[in-house]
Amino acid sequence: MLQLALNAFSRTGVLIRYMIGGGLGAITQFATLTLLHKFLLLDATLSSAIGFCLAVVVNYTFQYHMTFKSDGAHRTLFRRFTTVAVIGLTINTSIFWVFHTIFGLHYLLAQVGATGIVFGFNYLMNFYYTFRHHE
């Protein structure tokens, strides 16, 4: 298992492109979280979850075209990507809730922590499951 993780993280080009796509997704999530929570006064956890869902679309588009340069069927790959994202959403929302509600962290700091943890999980799952035929 450790060897699989090391193999995935040793693919420098793929990892860098994945980080760029993930960065665009993170910007989407943080912007949505801030807009919905600070300006529209929605609950912070709900705002984070909505932002995560919007980020999935941005992230999938980038990862499909730029990171893994896939030519696979969107029907199959988006379903896989969404499955990984839903698991990631569960992890993200749980971590965000604990950091923000239990530990009292500012909502943006809570999101930074949740994003960092979910990044590693999502990268490995998308590398080995969603886009496994990318090479």
Residue 75, in any domain of the structure? yes
What's the rounded mean pLDDT across residues 70-98? Answer: 93
Is 73 a member of any domain? yes
C-alpha 114/C-alpha 54 separation (Å) is 16
More confident residue, 48 or 39: 39
Please check whether residue 72 lies inside any domain of the structure. yes
- Domain range for residue 101? 12-130
Q: Identify whether 4 is part of a domain.
A: no
DSSP-H helix ranges across the chain: 2-9, 12-34, 44-62, 74-97, 107-125
Residue 44 lies in a domain: yes
43 three-state secondary structure: coil
Residue 81 has pLDDT above 70, yes or no: yes
Token couple for 34: 């801030």
Number of domains in the chain: 1
4 falls in which pLDDT band (50, 70, 90)? low
- Is residue 69 domain-resident? yes
Establish if 29 belongs to a structural domain.
yes
| pLDDT(134) > 60 | no
Q: Is the pLDDT of residue 135 over 80?
A: no
Instruction: Copy the structure tokens of residue 65.
Output: 């075209």
Mean pLDDT in the chain? 90
